[in-house]
Amino acid sequence: MKKISQKILAVSVILTLTFIWVNSMLPGDLSGRESQWVLRLVEPLLDYVRSGQVRQAMIRFALRFPDRLSETLIRFASAVEDHLLSRDASFLVRKAAHFSEYALLGYLVGLLCVRRDGRSRFFLPEAACLAAALIDEGIQLFSAGRAAQLRDVCIDLSGATLGLTVALVLLGAVRVFLRVSAPKTWESS
């Protein structure tokens, strides 16, 4: 059973990488049209965010934390709102796509790279995701109207780190659950 699940995870990683890299091969104008299509889908949500209600909720939430963290959260909320109000939402859509693609990749690679003893690994999957991000940006060097950007590698790696962290937390929770729910055996002395 374990070999089957490992094969399914490996195929899922390959399919995810294929999706990411094929999108990187798209010429800039086609990639831009795809971003605009997604933007039209999320426009009602963006209009709600632009209404200021989300920012006010984020500020109320941020004020619950210590001053420095609160200030950082409020600046973040303002920056997001500024991008949305300037109608530069296409930029956010493209960067959110980078982040989410690599979050999925990090999650899958994290599950795939579990050691035989059931323990999780971090650096090997993280290095694999970094390599994938570098290849992704390298592909864009050869795509018309596209360019490689270090910022995108950082966004990709951030998404991968989040996905990997979620995978490791879930795996750790399963290990703890299995350890707690396992029947205890008593050795006779």
List all residues 6 or more positions away from 49 whose beta carbon is below 8 Å from its beta carbon: 55, 80, 81, 84
Largest CA distance in the chain: 75
List pLDDT tens digits, range 10-52. Answer: 999 999 999 999 989 988 888 878 877 887 887 787 777 777 7
pLDDT at 133 over 80: yes
Distance CA 69, CA 92 (A): 23
Using only C-alpha atoms, what is the Rg of the chain?
Answer: 21
pLDDT at 86: 64
pTM, to two decimals: 0.74
Token code pair at residue 10: 């490996």
Distance CA 154, CA 102 (A): 11
pLDDT at 66: 85
List pLDDT tens digits, range 135-181. Answer: 999 999 998 888 889 999 999 999 999 999 999 899 888 888 877 77
pLDDT at 85: 63
Distance CA 40, CA 37 (A): 5
Place of tokens 């990187």: 24
Distance CA 137, CA 132 (A): 9
pLDDT at 182: 65
Beta-carbon neighbour count of residue 93 at 10 Å?
A: 18
List pLDDT tens digits, range 108-117. Answer: 999 988 776 6
So where are the chain's domains? Answer: 2-178
pLDDT at 1: 45
List pLDDT tens digits, range 66-83. Answer: 888 888 878 887 777 776
Phi, psi torsion values for 63, nearest 5 degrees: -70, -10
